[in-house]
Homo-oligomer: A and B are copies of this chain.
Amino acid sequence: MKNFEFYNPTRIVFGSGKVAELSRLVPADARVLVLYGGASAQKTGTLDEVKAALGDRAVLEFGGIEANPTYETLMRAVAQVRQEKIDFLLAVGGGSVIDGTKFVAAAANFDGEPWDILLKGGSQVTQALPFGTVLTLPATGSEMNSGAVVTRKATRTKLPFMSALVFPQFSVLDPTKTYTLPPQQIANGIVDAFVHTLEQYLTYPVQGLAQDRFAEGLLQTLVEIAPKALAEIPDYDSRANLMWSASLALNGLIGAGVPQDWATHMIGHELTALYGIDHARTLAIVLPPLLNVQRETKRAKLLQYAERVWAITDGSDAQRIDQVIERTRQFFESLGIKTRLSDYGLGPDAVDAVVAQLEAHDMTRLGEHQDVSPAVSRAILMAAL
Contact = CB atoms under 8 A, between A and B. Distances in A.
Interface stretch (A5-13, A101-109, A315-323): A5-13
20 contacts: A1-B241, A1-B244, A3-B14, A4-B12, A6-B11, A7-B9, A7-B10, A7-B11, A14-B256, A207-B240, A207-B241, A209-B224, A209-B225, A210-B218, A210-B244, A213-B213, A213-B214, A213-B217, A214-B214, A217-B217
A18 B16 CA distance: 42
Interface in A7-29: 7-16, 18
Q: How many copies of the chain does the oligomer comprise?
A: 2
Interface of A: 1-16, 18, 207-210, 212-214, 216-218, 220-221, 224-225, 237, 240-241, 244-245, 248, 253, 256-257
A13 B3 CA distance: 8
B11 A5 contact: yes
Contacts of A213: 213-214, 216-218, 220-221
A240 B211 CA distance: 12
B240 A1 contact: yes
Contacts of A4: 12, 14-15
Contacts of A3: 14-16, 18
Nearest to A6: B12
A241 to B, nearest CB: 5
A25 to B, nearest CB: 10
A7 B18 contact: no
Nearest to A170: B7
B9 A9 contact: yes
Contacts of A216: 213, 217
Nearest to A213: B217
Contacts of A10: 7
A239 to B, nearest CB: 10
For the complex of A and B, list the 9 residue pairs with the smallest distance between their C-beta atoms, beginning with the closest. A213-B217, A3-B15, A9-B9, A207-B237, A7-B11, A6-B12, A209-B221, A1-B240, A210-B221
